[in-house]
Structure formats: C-alpha cells, structure tokens
Amino acid sequence: MSSTERLRFGVDLVTFFHPAFWGVEDYDGIIALSRSEPRSFWDKILDAVQASGVTGVELTFSPFNWQDATKTYGSVEAFAGELSKRGLALASGFFAELEAAGDFAEASAQAAIIEKAEKYAAFLKACGSDIMVIGAPLRQTPGAQPVRFFDFEQARKIADFLNRLGAILYAKGVRLAVHTEAHSIFAASRDVDLLMLLTDPAYVHMCPDTAHIIVAGSDPLEVVERHHERVIIAHWKDALGPMPTDTPIDEHIHDRHRPYFCGFGLGRVDWPGWIRLLRDRAYEGWAILELDAAPDPVGDIANGLTLVRQALLPIYR
C-alpha cells in the first residue's frame, strides 16, 4: 500500500468561510448567499474541493453542515451522489453542539445532544463515513467571576458524558473523536492528558489539530506522542504561535484565533517531525488540511498538498 493510500487528504468546509471567496462583503453575506442560492452555493464548494486536489470533505457548522447539504440536494443519497461524481468522499463530520450547549450537566440538555448526535451519525453512515469530530466546551476567561475550575471533578463529569455518547455512537457504527480546539477544555497539554485519562479508549478517540494546540501554548508533537493510539483523524494546520494567556474567551474567541493561523509550512508546526511521528506510530487515515476562512481556499489547499507530497510523504514512506 502506498503512502498516499495510507494517508488520505481532505478539507474542513470552514476553509470556505471567507467573504472574498464568495464575492461578498462580510460573513452575513455568505449566510445570505447560502440561503438565496443554496444549490449554486454547495456546487461551488464541492467543485472547489475537487479542484484543490484533496479527496475528502469534513462538514462543519451551518451553512456548511449536514442539514444544509441534505436540504439543498433533496436527500442524503443525492448529496452522497454529488460527492461521488466528483471523486470525493465524506471523511468526517464536525459536531459543534457540545460547545454550544454551555452547561450540559442537566439530563434534558444531554438528551438533546444525544438525539442530535444520533441523527448526525445516521447521516454519516449513509454517506460512507464513520467519524464524528466533536468540539469540547470552552474554558472560562482567566480571572472571570465566579471562578469555574476545570479540575478532576469537572473533568470526570464531562468524561462520563463523552463515554456514554461514544458508546451510543459506537453502536451505530460511528467513532467519536474529540477535537483539540484552542481555549476549550481539550487543547492545552495538561487538559488533553486529563480528559484522555478519564475517557474510555474504546469509545472516545482524538482529533488533534496542530495549529490549535500551538495556539493553546502546547506542542502538538508531544501531545500526540503521548496519545497516538487514540488518534483516528487529524487536522493539519499551521499557527504563528501561542495566544496571550489573558485572551478573553467568549463568543468571539474563534474570530480571535484567525490572525494566529497561517499558511501551511509558514508557522511553528514541525512538519518533518510531525510526519515522522505519524510514520513511526503507524498512523493511517484522514489528514484534514484545514485553513480557517481562506480568501483563496483552492490555491491554499493545493499549495499545502504540493508541500505535503514533495516534502513530507517521502519521509512517511
């Protein structure tokens, strides 16, 4: 089996969340376009993914989510057909409901999340994917009152829910992978170690995002080395460095992340070291070349894929 077969490259659709790509002025313009011309909107995305050279798609938040795709093309089967005729596969689906839920300790909140996840899992399976990537709850801004510690007891409650959700999805043929989102409870080295310790490896896996781990102040190679057996998919992205420790964590945190992300190979990620780690730990699976809201997503993805093929895959072989 060749290295290109053992590593399959895809893109998260958040990459296309830039107004310049759509010829509009702002993010509201993207939303409006997706609603007024949904078919041309989705056709443009899928055509762009195909043109970039990758073969996989990771769905994400609206207007790039599974409900939007299904509604646009009329059925799950029709969307799967649109992927297939372009030589694309559904690599995974990002599930953002946990982060959006806030305090999900209430049984009713957990039941709602599980119901949404089960519907999503059915869609993923119907499209040939078996990976659901999930975002973890956000941390609290340091110094905010009243203080909420992410301590052992809080981590245990979250881990218990992740275990149960993972087991429910497993029964439906879908694997759960927690994404290392900067400023969530699963990005900095200590937080990842804590949640990995408390979750069951049979049901809870990991989706490391190299850039987000750096933005959180940690080393992605060190984090993944300790938990490599839990990795079932990875986001390959570059970052300029860690964000200030007093960064406000609120509804704008994802916008604050973007200036710290950069083009593939232009940041702090040790890509030769990264590919050696994956090689030595016999990782096989999807590599999602993600760029948050790129003005020229097709060119940026294509350039990143060229760098991977020329400089990294020879090491992986």
Domain residue spans of the chain:
7-315
In this prediction, residue 60 has a pLDDT band, given cuts at 50, 70 and 90, of very high
Rounded to an integer, the average pLDDT of 32-38 is 97
What was the pLDDT predicted at 109?
84
The structure's pTM equals 0.95
Rounded to an integer, the average pLDDT of 225-251 is 96
In this prediction, residue 5 has a pLDDT band, given cuts at 50, 70 and 90, of confident
Nearest Cα residue to 168 out of 195, 127, 123, 204: 204
Rounded to an integer, the average pLDDT of 122-132 is 97
In this prediction, residue 4 has a pLDDT band, given cuts at 50, 70 and 90, of low
- Does the pLDDT value for residue 102 go beyond 70? no
- Does the pLDDT value for residue 97 go beyond 90? no
In this prediction, residue 98 has a pLDDT band, given cuts at 50, 70 and 90, of confident
pLDDT tens readout for residues 255-308:
999 999 998 889 999 999 999 999 999 999 999 998 877 889 999 999 999 999
Contact 269, 241 (CB under 8 A): no
Mean pLDDT, rounded, of the chain: 94
What was the pLDDT predicted at 71?
97
pLDDT tens readout for residues 149-161:
999 999 999 999 9
What is the spatial distance between Cα 52 and Cα 98, in angstroms, rounded to a whole number? Answer: 31
What is the spatial distance between Cα 285 and Cα 244, in angstroms, rounded to a whole number? Answer: 33
What was the pLDDT predicted at 107?
81
Contact 192, 186 (CB under 8 A): yes
How many Cα atoms within 13 Å fall on the side-chain side of residue 102?
A: 4
In this prediction, residue 25 has a pLDDT band, given cuts at 50, 70 and 90, of very high
On whether the 7-315 domain is CATH 3.30.1370.60, my answer is no
What was the pLDDT predicted at 131?
98
* Tokens linked to 289: 């070349």
pLDDT tens readout for residues 200-237:
999 999 999 999 999 999 999 999 999 999 999 999 99
What was the pLDDT predicted at 264?
87
What was the pLDDT predicted at 292?
79
- Does the pLDDT value for residue 3 go beyond 70? no
Task: Calculate the dihedral angle through the C-alpha atoms of 248, 195, 229, 179, rounding to the nearest 10 degrees.
Answer: -30
Peptide bond into 146 cis (omega under 30): yes
In this prediction, residue 99 has a pLDDT band, given cuts at 50, 70 and 90, of low
Rounded to an integer, the average pLDDT of 35-41 is 97
